[in-house]
Amino acid sequence: MTDLPTYTKSQLALRNGQDKPEIWVAYKGVIYDVTESRLWRRGQHYEHWAGQDLTDELPDAPHTDEVFERFKAVAMLSSGLSS
């Protein structure tokens, strides 16, 4: 169980580093706030963009999902069935 709120893909999409000050990335159903990361400035991380679910893109990275450990989980990503 989690006390985190659930946000939709549309809410996540606005935190892409362009439209709002916050920069968020979803991974395995959890939305992380990477605003403080120098590696995600303006929402861009190599050829990847924030504001999306990047679960399927992690295998392309030269690192594991341990990179998320120092970031705060802000919400769960809704399944999208009703949004």
State the residues that interact with ligand HEM by CB under 6 A. 25, 27, 34, 37, 39, 45-48, 54, 57-58, 60-63, 67-68, 70
Contacts of 32 (CB under 8 A, 6+ apart): 24, 25, 26, 68, 71, 72, 73, 74
CB closer to ligand HEM out of 1 and 62:
62
Which CB sits closer to ligand HEM, 62 or 82? 62
Nearer to ligand HEM, 46 or 79 (CB): 46
Terminal Cα-to-Cα distance of the chain (whole angstroms): 22
